Chain A
Amino acid sequence: DTAVSQTPKYLVTQMGNDKSIKCEQNLGHDTMYWYKQDSKKFLKIMFSYNNKELIINETVPNRFSPKSPDKAHLNLHINSLELGDSAVYFCASSQRDRGPWGTEAFFGQGTRLTVV
């Protein structure tokens, strides 16, 4: 059973197009994330949702719009794609604790987006 699954795995599209990436987790976690990993392998957080509520929005262009219909799903829609959007996008989930200790994030397999 796949814990965090993303679709599609590969996405090649032209500049100016609109595309979506879907993510689902079956771990029962209440927190989900989108990360962007650039060519230098830096994993930069974009968004975080907790129980469908947006918690983190890290100065991402508003062409990127996350949507969480329920706590098991977090989708990412990108409008007017640009060359600089080419990267690997990872979805992840974790369980928020009430205490001071965080828990690890579980990652999907990634979506390699190539804008041409």
Chain B
Amino acid sequence: QKEVEQNSGPLSVPEGAIASLNCTYSDRGSQSFFWYRQYSGKSPELIMFIYSNGDKEDGRFTAQLNKASQYVSLLIRDSQPSDSATYLCAVTPLLPGGYQKVTFGTGTKLQVIP
């Protein structure tokens, strides 16, 4: 079982719709959860992070975390063609000594259709 799992997609949504991206993780000790966006040929860039159970909103983006279910999701409202990219879920389980290991899922490719 992979440490962080995502549906690879592609997920196609029409412009203006809500895109819902999901991620599950295996390490119950994980404390920090991140969503990165990666455009083709570019490096990943952070768009959201969440530490506590519940929802966190930032503009058109909402991250949702459920630690009991080991599930984290990202909602993108009013999807735009410029949102078309691969979205990477990342989890930081703690290692002995307090060190962190930023572990990524396989990514979900999102296509927003104009």
Question: Could you list which residues of chain A lie within 8 angstroms of chain B, going by C-beta atoms?
Answer: 31, 33, 35, 40-45, 48, 50, 55-56, 90, 92, 94, 96-98, 100-110
Contacts and interface: CB of A to CB of B under 8 A. Distances in A.
Q: Interface residues of B toward A: which range? A: 20 to 34
Given A100-B94, A109-B43, A50 B99 contact: yes
Contacts of B88: 43
Contact of A107 (B45, B86, B97, B99): B45
B46 interface: yes
A33 B102 contact: yes
Nearest to A40: B106
Given A48-B99, A104-B49, A43 B44 contact: yes
B106 A110 contact: no
Among B42, B44, B106: residue with most chain A CB under 10 A: B44
Nearest to B51: A101
Interface of B: 8, 31-32, 34, 38, 42-46, 49, 51, 86, 88, 90, 92, 94-95, 97-104, 106-107, 109
Given A100-B31, A101-B32, A109-B43, A45 B94 contact: no
Given A45-B103, A105-B90, A108-B43, A98 B95 contact: no
A56 B107 contact: no
B80 to A, nearest CB: 21
B107 A102 contact: no
Contacts of A108: 43
A110 to B, nearest CB: 5
Contacts of A98: 98
Nearest to A109: B43
B100 A102 contact: yes
B98 A96 contact: yes
